[in-house]
Amino acid sequence: MNRRGFLSSVAAGWVVHAASPGRAPLAGEIVGAAHGAGHLLRGGPLPTASGPAERADVVIVGGGVSGLSAAWRLAGAGLDLRVLELEPRPGGTSAWGDDGVVPYPWGAHYLAAPNVEARATLRLLEQMGVVTGWDAAGRPVFDPRRLCHAPGERLFYEGAWHTGLAPVDALSSEALDELERFHALEEELTELTGSDGRPAFQIPLDRSSRDPELLRLDRMSMAAWLDREGYRTPFVRWYVRYAMLDDFGGEPEEISAWAGLHYFAGRKARAPELAGSRYLVWPEGNGRLVKALIERAAPRVSLGALVTSVRPQPSGRVEIDYVDVQRGEARRVEARAAILAAPAFVVRRIFAGSAAGELPERVASAWLVANLHVERPIDPNHAWDSVLYGAEGLGYVDARHQLTDLAAATTQRSRLEMPVQRTVLTYYRAFGGPDVAAARAALLRAPWASLADGVLRDLAPAHPHLRDDVERMDVMIWGHAMPRPRPGFLGPRPFEPRCALSERVAWAHVDQPGMALFEEAHACGVRAAETIAASAGIAIGESWL
Q: What is the dihedral of CA 230, 235, 236, 240, to 10 degrees?
A: 130
Residue 50, pLDDT score: 80
Contact 399, 100 (CB under 8 A): yes
Count of beta carbons in the 10 Å neighbourhood of residue 75: 18
Residue 360, pLDDT score: 95
CA distance 222 to 257: 4
CATH class of 35-96+284-361+495-536: alpha beta
CA distance 502 to 510: 19
Residue 48, pLDDT score: 81
Of 372, 388, 436, 442, residue with least CA distance to 11: 442
| Rounded mean pLDDT, 68-83 | 97
Binned at pLDDT 50, 70 and 90, residue 222 comes out as: very high
Residue predicted with more confidence, 486 or 405: 486
Residue 24, pLDDT score: 79
Write out pLDDT tens, residues 33-49.
888 888 888 877 788 88
Q: What is the dihedral of CA 399, 433, 365, 42, to 10 degrees?
A: -140
CA distance 6 to 11: 8
Does the bond joining 343 to the residue before it have cis omega, within 30 degrees of 0? Answer: no
Binned at pLDDT 50, 70 and 90, residue 420 comes out as: low
pLDDT greater than 80 at residue 345? yes
Write out pLDDT tens, residues 242-284.
999 999 999 999 999 999 999 999 999 887 777 778 999 999 9
Q: What is the dihedral of CA 382, 387, 388, 390, to 10 degrees?
A: -170
Write out pLDDT tens, residues 516-525.
999 999 999 9
Poorest-pLDDT segment among 342-346, 352-356, 359-363, 453-457: 352-356
Residue 251 identity (one-letter amino acid): E
Instruction: Please report the DSSP string for 100-163 in residue order.
Output: SSS-EESS---EEPPPTT-HHHHHHHHHHTSEEEE-TTS-EEE-GGGBPPSS-EEEEETTEEEE
| Rounded mean pLDDT, 348-354 | 91
Q: Which residues of 43-56 are buried (b: 16+ CB within 10 A; e: fewer)?
A: eeeeeebeeeebeb
| Rounded mean pLDDT, 130-134 | 96
pLDDT greater than 70 at residue 18? no
| Rounded mean pLDDT, 433-454 | 96
Instruction: Please report the DSSP string for 361-388 in residue order.
Output: P-EEEEEEEEEEEESS-S-SS--SEEEE
CA 444 to chain centre: 20
H or E element at residue 391: none
pLDDT greater than 60 at residue 419? no
H or E element at residue 302: strand 300-303
Poorest-pLDDT segment among 8-12, 334-338, 457-461, 507-511: 8-12
Domain ranges of the chain: 35-96+284-361+495-536
| Rounded mean pLDDT, 496-511 | 95
Contact 330, 51 (CB under 8 A): no
% of the chain exceeding 70 in pLDDT: 93
| Rounded mean pLDDT, 198-214 | 98
| Rounded mean pLDDT, 9-19 | 52
Contact 513, 478 (CB under 8 A): no
pLDDT greater than 90 at residue 406? no
* Contact partners, residue 263, CB within 8 Å, separation at least 6: 243, 244, 247, 248
% of the chain exceeding 90 in pLDDT: 82
Poorest-pLDDT segment among 19-33, 190-204, 363-377: 19-33
pLDDT greater than 80 at residue 387? yes
* Contact partners, residue 452, CB within 8 Å, separation at least 6: 16, 26, 28, 370, 473, 475
- Round the average pLDDT of the chain to a whole number and report it: 92
Residue 15, pLDDT score: 59
| Rounded mean pLDDT, 350-371 | 94
Of 306, 301, 343, residue with least CA distance to 68: 301
pLDDT greater than 80 at residue 506? yes
CA distance 443 to 250: 16
Of 90, 82, 38, residue with least CA distance to 57: 82
CA distance 472 to 462: 19
Q: Is the dihedral of CA 514, 515, 516, 521 positive or negative?
A: negative
**Overall size of the chain counted in residues:** 545
Q: Which long-range contacts (CB under 8 A, 24 or more apart) does 206-212 make?
A: 206/495, 206/496, 206/497, 206/513, 207/117, 208/262, 208/266, 208/495, 210/494, 210/495
The DSSP letter of residue 474 is E
Residue 42, pLDDT score: 82
pLDDT greater than 70 at residue 410? no
Of 424, 406, 426, 423, residue with least CA distance to 415: 406
